Amino acid sequence: TFFHAVLVGFGLLMRTQQLQSDVALETPMSGRDQSELESVVGTFVNYLPLHFRVNADMRFSGLLHEVRDLVTDCFEHGQFRYEDMLADLENEGDGNATTNLPAPAAFICQHDFVRPITAGGVALTAVPSVSPGALRPLTVFMVERADGWRLSCEVDSHVVSQQAGLHLLEDFRRLLKEIAAGAED
């Protein structure tokens, strides 16, 4: 899918930025898969941890198949939260289990939720969202709008500089263009 392709692109980018083959990412999924939550008002989002290895000699198509299978498996086990996994690892080990795990970047790819519409005298319009601030060291957003895809990021300025975030977005844009052109296969 498109999501798998851009996720692999982001994984390739993280590999080149971090100069290591292990890539740790998080991506959100809806938490509304339980019928008992249907009547509850509110947002239910779970960030799924994704960890995969990007070897320098891997072809894009091979990595795409691996990541597709990984994502499919992770979505089937979406009730497990990243924070719970870290706590379980810490409880099983000597208390330092999480110190060697990389802080994952978050990758969010979604469609624009609100399309302006008027029905029965009520108008629904989009209002720009306001971020509460970076919840992770790096969060990259790809949002499909009526006029095309918007690429943006949030950074925790204690971990990643604003300039580094802008540079990463430009590198990601360039990499996606190369993937779309078939430069990576």
Structure confidence by residue, pLDDT tens digits, 115-141:
778 888 888 787 777 777 777 888 999
Segment 67-118, tens digit of pLDDT: 999 888 887 766 666 666 667 666 765 554 444 445 668 899 988 766 778 8
pLDDT in the model for residue 101: 45
User: pTM above 0.95?
Assistant: no
Tens of pLDDT along 136-181? 888 999 988 878 888 999 988 888 888 988 999 999 999 999 988 8
Q: Which residues contact 21 (CB under 8 A, 6 or more apart)?
A: 15, 53, 54, 55, 56
How far is the C-alpha of 103 from the C-alpha of 78, rounded, in Å? 19
pLDDT band for position 42 (50/70/90)?
A: low
**pLDDT at position 98, please?**
44
Amino acid type, 99:
T
Sorting pLDDT into bands at 50, 70 and 90, what band is 15? confident
Q: What is the spatial distance between Cα 148 and Cα 145, in angstroms, rounded to a whole number?
A: 5
User: What percent of the chain lies above the pLDDT cut of 70?
Assistant: 75
Q: What pLDDT is attached to residue 80?
A: 63
